[in-house]
Structure 1
Amino acid sequence: MKVCCILSEEEARIAVRHGAAALGLVSRMPSGPGVISEERIAEIASKVPPPVGTFLLSSSTEVDALVAEHRRTRTNTLQLVDSLPPGHLQRLREALPGVRLVQVIHVTGPSSLDEALSVAPWVDALLLDSGNPTLAVKELGGTGRVHDWEVSRRIREQASLPVFLAGGLRPENVLEAVRQVGPYGLDICSGLRTDGRLDEDKVSRFFRALDTLAA
């Protein structure tokens, strides 16, 4: 379970205390919630206890810029929220051999399956979200919308690597999402927030809902 859009060390502590296995730290984006400075990302990431994952969310599509951003923030995972030009994922893998790479696939229709399978050989995991990169101002996450879980299920079945599910997840729908898609993990941002801040009650209810799956 990854709690995204972490804004502060206190939010990080709340998420970890309730059982988050990873935290998402959002760098510059064309739209969406949770953006903080690279300095704050580095500060928060440095305080997160192992083995909790720290994900840098970057909208950059250039290898040199991604490498430099990662070195400034020092997270253990790089989450690519936009698609990179052909060949760039291979170059990024070579440039950051010890860093886990997670590619976001914005599930907009059946063609998202082909997109997911085409990048799968070069990354450690896929994250299926509900953005829309084709808009004039790109939506690259944090929309609070649910996408077509049937397409997500097909991606999960055919991809030979871990698949995270994101997009409109809440305590009220998470069990159905898990049943329909069967993801390796979940990623949530807006569904755990009230007035933009992490709501500990929602966090608690979300994790309690997940506990019923293991019961």
Structure 2
Amino acid sequence: MPSIRGSESFVSLLLIVTVCQAQYDGFFGGGYFGFQRPVSAVVDIKGTTKFPGVSGQFHFTQTTTGGPVIVRGTIQGLTPGLHGVHIHQFGNLSDNCNAAGPHFNPFNKDHGDVGHHVRHVGDLGNVDSMGDSFADIFLFDHLISLSSKSDRSVLHRALVIHEKADDLGLGNHADSKKTGNSGSRVACGIITLTPSRIPFFF
């Protein structure tokens, strides 16, 4: 049978742990340290009939609830230079990606750069295709979401690569504030959930 002193020590330790946990939960917003298991999505990009040599794959990862989404990937077969990258309203790739509709813009904003406070949710800037026709993308975006409950969710929508550079809403063309005057659609794919490949404590 434990002594009274031993019991008091155990109760004191339990109280300290409980208080510390409560303070930690309060600071990080409750739950399991305020974190979630990472949500991952992937999009396989294929060229239109006019640009059959374009292909690639982008990955999306969101490690915390409401946190930024990491976008990374590679695309090949593009002409050298900048090419606009946008998430469009619908997950429909027919009619050479035109059925994907306009840019994903739930808040009815003007078109802009990925890091600007005025932009479409679907505005992701440009990818730069070098002389070997490979283009890499790596960015953190605080606006898009991989939560199906969010009005900023990009799941099941189309990611579209455009023929020309996105002017980021800064040009003089009539389409600058709508599409960045980035030209026709050369490739697209649908953003779909995939099992997370990184530890949940990352």
- Structure with more of its chain in helix, by fraction: 1
- Structure with more of its chain in strand, by fraction: 2
TM-score (norm 2): 0.23
Highest RCO, 1 vs 2 (Cα 8 Å, sep ≥ 6): 2
TM-score (norm 1): 0.22
